Amino acid sequence: MVFIMMITPLDNWVKGKTGDDIATYQLEKLNETLRTVQKGTHYQRTLPQRVESLSELKSLPIIDAETLTRSGGTGLICVPQDEITRIVTLTTSGSTGAPKRIYFTKEDQELTVDYFANGLLTVVPPGGTMAVLLPYERPGSVGDLIACALQRIPVTPVRHGPVSDLASCANTLRDSGAGALVGTAVHVLAVARYCEAAGIMMNISGVLLSTDNVPHIVRQELKRIWGCEIYEHYGMTEMGLGGAIDCDAHDGYHIRENDLLFEIIDENGNTLPDGVFGEIVFTTLTRRGMPFVRYRTGDISRIIPGRCVCGSSLKRIAPIAGRVGCDVTMHSGAVVRMRDFDEVLFSLPCISDYWLSVSPCGDMLFIDIDVQESFSGQPLDGVETLLLGSGLADGFEIKIRTMRRPDILTPRTGKRQVIVSQIL
């Protein structure tokens, strides 16, 4: 079988909006945004109404999550309140952090649906069926917007929602005849492993992983179990849920350049050249309700130099390499990174999920592991030996606690990260 690489569908879609000169389009839209944000109280007297080149963007002030938590972020709203049709409330790091609220107009959400309808063509062809393993119940939620986009392609959406009961999810996938699905890496891996253990055959050809880190071991396992193509998507609520998506080349994520302008900065806020890792900062170019100028994401990546081998000239970012401030340094000086533990722990077929927490004094790491009853594979007796052999547990004690689950996943809120425990 000969595999023919397809240029990312975003290429024609973006150029249809921007024309051949993306930079000129972006400068025009940036200046429109600078005029729009003057309607919000936060940006008044802090930003110019016009810049003469995109290079001037780096001289403008940066905002962050704390900006959104002040007064509920209302100072960044640039339209009358009756034009806001969707408000998303997000908790910041730690349960005591003030919530962030992001506001969207109907037109803002239409931009996302349009993006999804074109980006998803990479994963599923017209006439296919795609299962949505993301929240969809509320109008305007990520799963709802994806389902609306799929219908435009047209592709039949299977509105499932986040995975809880593995048997129920597997039966839905099989009975619907879904040939593709979109969900989080941990959930999709758990479903695939359940299907393998239960002998349930699937005809999944494409999987899109989004909303959290995608470990290499998850990609490998999904390809082994289902023989499917694995794609990745990068986005966050603040950027309208959609930001950049993988292509058949699997060499970075193509940026939604008609709607978003990405920069990479260092810890001091200086803009970095292409190819250098730093924090992603983005500016919205077409949003009306709550436009952002130079918003810090906390995500670490780089802009990949050169043209993608798929043939697209759209800029690409590398897969996310971590988050600013999310690695935890132990008392010994060892650094605990969840993405490192992912590669080791998810290599064990019996594990469906796990949690890392560090003692207040930083001398012990607690690993809470969920094991599903139907999963097969290596016993957990060797987990500590495996971690010690990998070098990930050097310099501190580890305590492993396991919970056997009846093929039900433990719910999560927020992104997976190492927690510093407040309890001795």
The pLDDT score that the predictor gives to residue 45 is 78
Examine the pLDDT at 97 and tell me if it is beyond 90. no
The predicted model gives 94-116 an average pLDDT of 87
The one-letter code for the residue type at 119 is G
The pLDDT score that the predictor gives to residue 46 is 85
Q: Assign 95 a pLDDT band (cuts: 50, 70, 90).
A: very low
Q: Give pLDDT tens digits for 232-280.
A: 999 999 999 999 999 999 999 999 999 999 999 999 999 999 999 999 9
To the nearest 10 degrees (0 to 180), the angle between helices 216-226 and 185-198 is: 30
The pLDDT score that the predictor gives to residue 1 is 45
- List the single range of 33-47, 116-130, 155-169, 282-296 with lowest mean pLDDT: 33-47
Q: Assign 99 a pLDDT band (cuts: 50, 70, 90).
A: confident
What does DSSP say about strands 129-132 and 180-183: parallel, antiparallel, or unpaired? parallel
The predicted model gives 9-20 an average pLDDT of 96
Q: Which CATH class is domain 328-420?
A: alpha beta
Cβ neighbourhood burial of 26 (10 Å; 0-12, 13-18, 19+)? buried
Query: Of the ranges 37-46, 171-180, 367-376, which is most confident?
Result: 171-180
Q: Assign 94 a pLDDT band (cuts: 50, 70, 90).
A: very low
The predicted model gives 80-88 an average pLDDT of 95
State percent of the chain over pLDDT 90.
Answer: 78
Q: Which residues of 73-105 are buried (b: 16+ CB within 10 A; e: fewer)?
A: bebbbbbeeebbebebebeeeeeeeeebbbbbb
DSSP output for 142-198: HHHHHHHHHHHTT-EEEE--S--BHHHHHHHHHHHT-SEEEE-HHHHHHHHHHHHHH
- List the single range of 7-16, 185-194, 266-275, 415-424 with lowest mean pLDDT: 415-424
The predicted model gives 372-380 an average pLDDT of 72
15/423 Cα distance (integer angstroms): 54
- The alpha carbon torsion through 103, 108, 113, 118 (nearest 10 deg) reads -130
The predicted model gives 120-146 an average pLDDT of 96
Answer whether 120's CB lies under 8 Å from 147's CB.
no
The pLDDT score that the predictor gives to residue 16 is 96
Q: Give pLDDT tens digits for 135-187.
A: 999 999 999 999 999 999 999 999 999 999 999 999 999 999 999 999 999 99
The predicted model gives 383-408 an average pLDDT of 88
To the nearest 10 degrees (0 to 180), the angle between helices 338-345 and 383-390 is: 130
The pLDDT score that the predictor gives to residue 312 is 96
The predicted model gives 94-122 an average pLDDT of 89
To the nearest 10 degrees (0 to 180), the angle between helices 216-226 and 338-345 is: 30
285/18 Cα distance (integer angstroms): 12
The predicted model gives 283-305 an average pLDDT of 97
Using CA atoms, how far residue 99 sits from 54, 58, 83, in Å, is 32, 28, 22
412/315 Cα distance (integer angstroms): 33
Do the two domains 123-234 and 328-420 of this chain adopt the same fold?
no
Q: Which CATH number fits domain 10-110+243-323: 1.10.3720.10, 3.40.50.12780, 3.60.150.10, 3.40.50.10860?
A: 3.40.50.12780
Examine the pLDDT at 374 and tell me if it is beyond 90. no
Q: Give pLDDT tens digits for 300-322.
A: 999 999 999 999 999 999 999 98
Using CA atoms, how far residue 395 sits from 287, 331, 334, 335, 387, in Å, is 48, 8, 6, 10, 12
CATH of domain 123-234: 3.40.50.980
E-only strand ranges, 26-94: 84-90
The pLDDT score that the predictor gives to residue 110 is 97
Per the prediction, the chain carries an average pLDDT of 92
- List the single range of 180-194, 284-298, 346-360, 376-390 with lowest mean pLDDT: 376-390
All structural domains of the chain with their residue ranges = 10-110+243-323, 123-234, 328-420
